[in-house]
């Protein structure tokens, strides 16, 4: 029985334009993957919106519809794709360069479709991504002018492709580390800083600003500051736009946010956690620059502190040594190898070790997240949920939260939060897992 009323949700009618900032490995694997699925030749494995179910009501009710049948999501057939990139390659050429998907099986059959997706000139500045050079770049006297040019791109794309709605996902490179400063406090300060070409305004912030001003939800797949500061949060709330980030949680950090809660649940201590990676794609090359790596490092390091709560359990986690390395190693391309050595201790302090060796494919893990985020951010927007979408922290390494609120990193708390939000939106009862009613006398 529904306990509450469903939120009014605008129907998912018409086309949904998905604007990817960056047309690299992740974006092309996502776009080509959706097209392969649409043509019936592939399965969207890894996508909760396409394959996941949701339990409703009591365990005895046997109600577990597919999520996409339960909430009104845009259909894959209604998605159209656009992108910006400083590299001029179309989606086919970029996907070939990325080397993720099989050329014969997944790219050649859709070559015409991919070749038709050409990147719009980007707002790009090498000062923020040192290891990249690109000529497909907008020019403008001020950062405000560049943001306005992005707004025009958004409007033009919407009109040209006759979209009903748009959503923007940052799939571009990781920028150098920036901390929030005076320019990020208020909208007025931010706009003045754009006019003054303030160096603390990075290109990613201009995309987020343009999206929010145009009423387009914005999801940040990289660890950049982008829209994680008061000026942008306030703007998103005022404009009624859904925003969120940061940094797709795909490989090593996903594993970390599953293992660490287990140690804490069983009150096992952790002395050290050494994580290292080898990665040979362009992302790996960009992250080889210490300033971009620092942005990533902060995002990857945060999770243990929040999950293990050393302030509550000083004996178990007070002295943990946590190290994260990413090493650029071209022979592996997109096929990352991530090693974790975890030194734990148990009863009376006896030490033990766990080793994880994850031979993963970075963009294969990330692509379904881009799809889910595009569909869920569009849902949030239609359901009138504006500002930070913390319920989508399931997808992020470094979830954006309301000021003063610490993020939940445990993957299964995040999953519960996500599914309970869907139940809430649709007016269904929350699932608390109390279950006492199954054992009470009638």
Ligand X SMILES: NC(=O)c1ccc[n+]([C@@H]2O[C@H](COP(=O)([O-])OP(=O)(O)OC[C@H]3O[C@@H](n4cnc5c(N)ncnc54)[C@H](O)[C@@H]3O)[C@@H](O)[C@H]2O)c1
CB of 362 to ligand X, least distance (A): 4
Cβ-Cβ contacts under 8 Å for 436 (sequence gap 6 or more): none
* Whole-angstrom distance, CA of residue 346 vs CA of residue 359: 28
Question: Cβ 360 to ligand X, closest distance in Å?
Answer: 8
Q: Nearer to ligand X by C-beta: 132 or 422? A: 132
Binds ligand X by CB under 6 A, chosen from 138, 158, 282, 419: 282
Cα angle for residues 384, 165, 27 (degrees, 5° grid): 110
User: Which of the stretches 128-136, 183-191, 378-386, 427-435 binds ligand X when contact is defined by CB under 6 A?
Assistant: 128-136
Choose between 27 and 56: whose C-beta lies nearer to ligand X.
Answer: 27
> 344 or 365: whose CB is closer to ligand X?
365
User: How far is it, in rounded angstroms, from Cα 23 to Cα 130?
Assistant: 18
Can you read off the two tokens belonging to residue 98? Answer: 């990325």
Between 206 and 270, name the residue whose CB sits nearer to ligand X.
206
| 270 in Cβ contact with 308 (< 8 Å) | yes
Task: Pick from 71, 122, 278, 373 the residue near ligand X by CB under 6 A.
Answer: 122
The angle that helices 230-239 and 187-195 make with each other, rounded to 10 degrees, is 110
Q: How far is the CB of 383 from ligand X (least distance, A)?
A: 26
Residue 101 binding ligand X, by CB under 6 A:
no
The count of residues interacting with ligand X (CB under 6 A) is 37
In SS3 terms, 10-57 reads as CCCCCEEEEEEECCCHHHHHHHHHHHHHHCCCCCCCCCHHHHCECCEC
Residues whose CB is less than 8 angstroms from the CB of residue 140 and which lie 6 or more positions away in sequence, other chains included? 146, 148, 149
Asked if 226 interacts with ligand X (CB under 6 A), we say: no
Radius of gyration of the chain (CA): 22
Binding flag, residue 278, ligand X (CB under 6 A) = no
* Shortest Cβ 135–ligand X spacing (Å): 11
Residues 6+ apart with CB under 8 A from 87: 23, 94, 119, 134, 136
In the stretch 320-339, what mask flags binding to ligand X with x, by CB under 6 A? --------------------
Question: Per-residue contact track with ligand X, 344 to 363, x per CB under 6 A?
Answer: ------------------xx
372 binds ligand X (CB under 6 A): no
Residues 71 and 150: their CA atoms lie apart, in Å, by 31
Q: In whole angstroms, what is the distance from residue 161 CA to residue 80 CA? A: 8
Question: What are residue 262's DSSP bridge partners?
Answer: none
Listed ranges 264-272, 278-286, 322-330, 406-414: which one lies at the site for ligand X (CB under 6 A): 278-286
Footprint on residues 132-171 left by ligand X (CB under 6 A): 132, 134, 171
Selected from 30, 81, 92, 124, the binder of ligand X by CB under 6 A is 124
Question: Considering beta carbons, is residue 55 or 97 the nearer one to ligand X?
Answer: 97
By beta-carbon distance, which residue lies closest to ligand X?
A: 24
Q: Which residues ranging from 234 to 263 are in contact with ligand X (CB under 6 A)?
A: 247-248, 250-251
Shortest distance (Å) from residue 165 CB to ligand X: 22
Q: Which of 47, 50, 174, 220 binds ligand X (CB under 6 A)?
A: 174
CB of 207 to ligand X, least distance (A): 7
Q: How far is CA 407 from CA 215, 402, 411, 415, 429, in A?
A: 26, 9, 11, 13, 24
Q: What is the smallest separation between the CB atom of 101 and ligand X, expressed in angstroms? A: 13
User: Which residue in 16, 18, 19, 24 binds ligand X (CB under 6 A)?
Assistant: 24
Is 280 an interacting residue with respect to ligand X (CB under 6 A)? no
Q: Based on CB atoms, which residue is closest to ligand X, 332 or 382? A: 332
DSSP string, 62-122: -B--BHHHHS-PPPGGGEEEEEE-SS---HHHHHHHHT-S-IIIIIGGGHHHHHT--PBPB
Nearest-angstrom CA–CA distance, 304 and 359: 22
Tokens encoding 61: 């009710």
| By CB under 6 A, residue 26 contacts ligand X | yes
CB of 26 or CB of 392, closer to ligand X: 26
For ligand X, what does the binding mask look like between residues 296 and 315, x meaning CB under 6 A? --------------------
User: What is the spatial distance between Cα 245 and Cα 211, in angstroms, rounded to a whole number?
Assistant: 14
Residues that bind ligand X (CB under 6 A): 21-27, 84-87, 98, 122-124, 129, 132, 134, 171-174, 203, 221-222, 247-248, 250-251, 281-283, 286, 362-363, 365-366
């Amino acid at each position: 029985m529904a306990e509450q009323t469903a939120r009014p949700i605008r129907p998912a009618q018409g086309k949904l334009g998905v604007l990817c900032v960056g047309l690299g490995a992740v974006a092309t694997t996502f776009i080509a993957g959706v097209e392969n699925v649409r043509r019936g030749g592939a399965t969207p494995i890894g996508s909760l919106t396409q394959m996941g179910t949701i339990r409703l009501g009591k365990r005895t009710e046997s109600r577990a519809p597919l999520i996409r049948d339960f909430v009104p999501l845009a259909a894959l057939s209604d998605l159209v794709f656009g992108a910006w990139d400083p590299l001029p390659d179309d989606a086919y050429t970029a996907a070939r360069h990325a080397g993720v998907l099989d050329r014969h099986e997944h790219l050649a059959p859709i070559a015409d479709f991919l070749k038709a997706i050409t990147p719009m000139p980007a707002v790009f500045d090498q000062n923020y991504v040192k290891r990249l050079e690109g000529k497909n770049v907008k020019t403008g006297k001020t950062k405000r002018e560049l943001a306005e040019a992005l707004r025009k791109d958004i409007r033009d794309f919407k009109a040209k492709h006759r979209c009903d709605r748009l959503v923007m996902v940052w799939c571009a490179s990781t920028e150098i580390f920036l901390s929030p400063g005076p320019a990020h406090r208020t909208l007025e300060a931010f706009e003045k800083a754009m006019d003054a070409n303030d160096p603390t305004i990075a290109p990613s912030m201009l995309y987020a600003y343009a999206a929010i001003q145009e009423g387009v939800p914005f999801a940040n797949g990289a660890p950049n500051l982008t829209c994680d500061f008061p000026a942008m949060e306030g703007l998103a709330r005022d404009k009624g736009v859904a925003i969120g980030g940061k940094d797709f949680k795909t490989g090593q950090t996903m594993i970390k946010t599953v293992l660490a809660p287990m140690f804490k649940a069983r009150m096992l201590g952790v002395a050290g956690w050494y994580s290292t990676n080898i990665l040979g794609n362009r992302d790996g090359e960009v992250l080889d620059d210490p300033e971009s790596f620092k942005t990533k490092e902060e995002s990857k390091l945060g999770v243990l502190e929040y999950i293990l709560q050393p302030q509550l359990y000083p004996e178990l986690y007070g002295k943990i040594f946590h190290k994260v390395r990413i090493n650029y190693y071209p022979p592996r391309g997109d096929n990352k190898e991530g090693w974790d050595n975890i030194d734990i201790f148990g009863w009376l302090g006896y030490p033990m070790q766990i080793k994880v060796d994850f031979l993963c494919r970075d963009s294969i893990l990330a692509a379904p997240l881009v799809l889910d985020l595009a569909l869920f951010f569009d849902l949030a927007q239609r359901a009138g949920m504006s500002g930070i979408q913390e319920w989508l922290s399931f997808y992020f390494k470094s979830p954006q939260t309301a000021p003063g609120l610490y993020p939940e990193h445990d993957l299964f708390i995040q999953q519960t939060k996500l599914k309970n939000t869907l139940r809430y939106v649709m007016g269904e009862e929350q699932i608390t897992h109390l279950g006492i009613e199954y054992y009470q006398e009638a």
